[in-house]
Structure 1
Amino acid sequence: MSKKKDERQTQIRNILLQEGRIKIVDLAKLLKVTPETLRNDLNEMEQQNIVIREHGYARMDNSLGELPVYLRSQEHPKEKRKVVFRAFQEIKDGQVVYLDSGSTIILGIQYITMKKDLTIVTNSLPLALECAKMNLRIVFAGGNVLNEGLRCYGFFADEVINRINIDVAILGTDGIMNCDGFTHNDMREVGFKRHIINRSKKIIAVCDRYKFQKEAPFIYCKFSEIDQLITNELTKEELEQVKDIKNIIQIKEA
């Protein structure tokens, strides 16, 4: 998918989140695109269960548990890149590093080249591809493919992880609002993440500050199990929520 189409479909999603339901003709005017272009976008988004069209209107499909990774990567990119840049400073040359499949890490993956002689472990298809383009050493934890997230899970992915000693694992979260740990929208991912935690010497969680405003149903890790959280500047209330984390690094706005 082209960058322009990515951005346009992100705009469509943001408009629908604000409006709830909108006439398709009004949506075309807001986006300043032809009816044909909008129709193609809505067709793709409907096939992915992101939107629903009904009698000349479009609305969000609220039944979707997880947004496709290309849409998530359009959310708060500036904040995510700052967090990833800081997280990669915690890595030492020559280490075995697990990188999570979330949109936060892939947005800043180019910063990994600050380090030398790394072995990158991941279950993310797009992340493995980007690392291959940079000629990095990669161990891919393959298995069943979850199409929305473009990542692998299940027995075969677990078996790969069970045979690796991981120095540093960098994990994301789908939201931490109203809970005491890091979460995921898909229960199939929880077991795999537990394998990562059990095989890792150091665990770093990364998230932008907007994850404090999002909820997800399945907790894969309690705050107390994490060695370090790297995020944007937090409020006093948000800091109180994650007080069980040993070390919190906040990236302040310039």
Structure 2
Amino acid sequence: MGERMFPLERQKKILELLMIKKVLKLTELTEELNISIDTLRRDLNHLTKQGKIEKIYGGVKLVESKFGESTIADRLISHIEEKERIAKKCSEYIHDGDCIYLDSGSTTFQIAKYIKNKKNLTVITNSVPIVNELMNDDVELIIIGGKVRQNEQSVVAYEYLFNFNELNILKAFIGASGITIEKGISDYNLEEAITRKNMIELSKEVYVAADSTKFDKDVTIGIAPLDKIDYIITDGNIKKDFINKFKKITTSLIISE
């Protein structure tokens, strides 16, 4: 397939692969894309000129972005072990026949990998990486309509394009950039926040999937107080005093091992 794909398609695929795995060897890319080393070199030269990737010894990596909220590409990789553990734990709460919402966070992206063998699952999402991940699996996929935020690879929903109230969501899995007991969960982007708020209102159960670095942070935009959140699933590095605080409130804290 590789050589017959358009160069643009191949280059997009190379970037997608680099988002999942930070650094790739040239041999990994030629095998994955089923192309010759010459074809690969042409693609890589093109992407290097565009400033999207940089060549390193024997391979390539994505160029880091330097400002504000790190891009989804960077975040898909940071704290990866914790995120995978959290995602695996989340998947234990997803059952055959569920209708779930997975939002565009980097931790929620990992959940997609653990639910491919569930039966009759409906996944609603605003995440382009999640759509790519589940595209060829036996999952009913619904992507919400709206504007694409390139650096987040997410869709910001427009009410007039998408009738949220028709959705019968059993469980929503939401990411957050900050979590505090007093203020609840928060995020950096207003548009993403609106979609998350909608989904929290519509879902019977709300799960926040967030690694322990997000606790005790209150970032720009409030999304929901903790009384709207049923479960927070995080990793084992969470501080003891937080665990104690959760004993006094209705939100359950679940720690992935």
TM-score band by shorter chain is 0.7 to 0.9
Shift of 1:196: 0.6
CA distance in structure 2 between the partners assigned to 1:126 and 1:147 by the alignment: 11
Shift of 1:236: 2.0
Judged with a 3 Å threshold, the aligned counterparts in structure 2 of structure 1 residues 90 and 158 are, in CA distance, closer, same or farther, namely farther
SS of the residue corresponding to residue 116 of structure 1 reads coil
Partner of 2:252: 247
Please give the per-residue CA displacement for 1:149-174, whole angstroms capped at 9, x wherever unaligned. 11111424873422101011111101
Aligned pairs (5 A) from 1:55-204: 60-61=66-67, 64=68, 66-156=69-159, 159-176=162-179, 180-204=183-207
Which of 209, 221, 226 aligns to 1:223? It is 226
Judged with a 3 Å threshold, the aligned counterparts in structure 2 of structure 1 residues 6 and 88 are, in CA distance, closer, same or farther, namely closer
CA distance in structure 2 between the partners assigned to 1:88 and 1:157 by the alignment: 32
CA distance in structure 2 between the partners assigned to 1:101 and 1:222 by the alignment: 20
CA contact (8 A) 1:174 1:216 kept: yes
CA distance in structure 1 between the partners assigned to 2:253 and 2:64 by the alignment: 34
Partner of 1:7: 22
CA contact (8 A) 2:20 2:76 kept: no
RMSD value, Cα: 3.1
1:236 maps onto 2:251 in alignment = no
Query: How many pairs align?
Result: 212
Structure-1-length-normalised TM-score? 0.73
CA contact (8 A) 1:6 1:70 kept: no
Please give the per-residue CA displacement for 1:28-76, whole angstroms capped at 9, x wherever unaligned. xxxxxxxxx9xx499448xx9965xxxxxxxx43xx2x22211101101
Percent identity between the two aligned chains: 25
SS of the residue corresponding to residue 166 of structure 1 reads coil
Higher mean displacement: 99-108 or 79-88 = 99-108
Judged with a 3 Å threshold, the aligned counterparts in structure 2 of structure 1 residues 227 and 177 are, in CA distance, closer, same or farther, namely closer
Structure-2-length-normalised TM-score? 0.72
CA distance in structure 2 between the partners assigned to 1:226 and 1:68 by the alignment: 26
Higher mean displacement: 240-249 or 119-128 = 240-249
CA distance in structure 1 between the partners assigned to 2:195 and 2:172 by the alignment: 13
Shift of 1:199: 1.0
Letter of the 1:142 partner, please give it: G
Shift of 1:135: 3.4
CA contact (8 A) 2:174 2:209 kept: yes
Structure 2: 5+ residue runs without aligned partners? Answer: 1-14, 24-44, 54-61
Structure 1: 5+ residue runs without aligned partners? Answer: 9-36, 52-59
1:212 maps onto 2:215 in alignment = yes
